[in-house]
Amino acid sequence: MITTICLNPCFDRTVEVDSLQPGKVNRIRAARDDMGGKGINVAVVAGRLGLEVQCIGIMGENGANELSARMDRENLKHSFLTVPGRVRTNMKIVSMDGKGVTELNEPGADVDDKVLSAFFDLARRETENSDMVVLTGSLPPGCPEGTYRELLNVLKGKKCVLDNEGKELELAVKGAAPFLIKPNLHELQATLGIELRTMRTIRDAALLFIRLGVKHAIVSMGEMGAMYVSEDRTLFSPAVRVETKSTVGAGDAMIGGILMGYEKEKDMSRAFRYGMAAGAASVMTEGTQLIRREDFERLLDQVRIQEV
């Protein structure tokens, strides 16, 4: 069993406009709504790839029934605490003129120390039979600095995957050393406060976290590909060339693929290839639709890995 944690789930509303014009009326040409939140996304991908997975977390009361129904339709096991407030809605505005995606993200329902303590108890119970636990996504208002570090300590003894940035990543690594971290290049630069221009500097930056006790680090770099770093090995994989329809959720899909690869290979350096295929399959879908298993299986043999 794999457990993903989603403390700030959402509904993702994706709209398409011909060309986003700030300060003017923009006509929507297409729209869709999906359930979202990085922990949910990872769980959906892992489930579609055939893994036994569940998602746990916290969500607002208003919208909880709808979000739960969507997880049920995905056949995703779930256990969430509910708090006063509503499930947030995040807006993705896709400009069809090639200028990218503009995201407008709500903060989510407030939590307090009592709610967090209750969730920590829930996490202990629900992860009892889990080999791996994924911690990812933004924290809702009211969470103190170092919440992910505290969660990692609650889950001590589990193989934990952390996908976060900034102070939360820094505190978690220094205080609890997760099994795997998966920042993207922007997040890695923002966390360290430096610009990383070459493969060597990216590798050296990842090694900083390895020396603090992290076992594995994977840095995704968009069109540049991704890098895997451990204490004794560095691998690079160029991006698989596919038609890109949306990059939203690609990092979450990558983690789902890594989980599938690690379940099958029992080796994180080999699981790296599965993550690359899943990330590439994700960008082939529009909006926030995530991954189709047939795309993943077709792309797996196209992934190339090389020593650095």
Q: Which residues are identified as catalytic?
A: 252
CA angle 28, 30, 32 (to 5 degrees): 115
Q: Phi and psi of 137, rounded to 5°?
A: 105, 170
CA distance 253 to 17: 25
Report residue 266 as tokens: 């029992």
Of 140, 130, 153, 152, nearest in space to 81 by CA: 140
Residues 6 or more apart in contact with residue 275 via CB below 8 angstroms? 218, 226, 254, 255, 257, 258, 261
**Position 242: which residue type?**
V
Q: What is the DSSP letter of 224?
A: G
Q: In whole angstroms, how large is the CA radius of gyration of the chain?
A: 19
Distance, in Å, from the CA atom of 217 to the CA atom of 108, rounded to the nearest integer, reads 29
For residues 25-44, b (16+ Cβ closer than 10 Å) or e, as one string? eeeeeeeeebbbbbbbbbbb
- 3-state secondary structure (DSSP) of residue 55: strand
Q: Which distant-in-sequence residues (6+ apart) come within 8 Å of 39 by Cβ?
A: 4, 5, 6, 7, 9, 55, 57, 134, 135, 136, 137
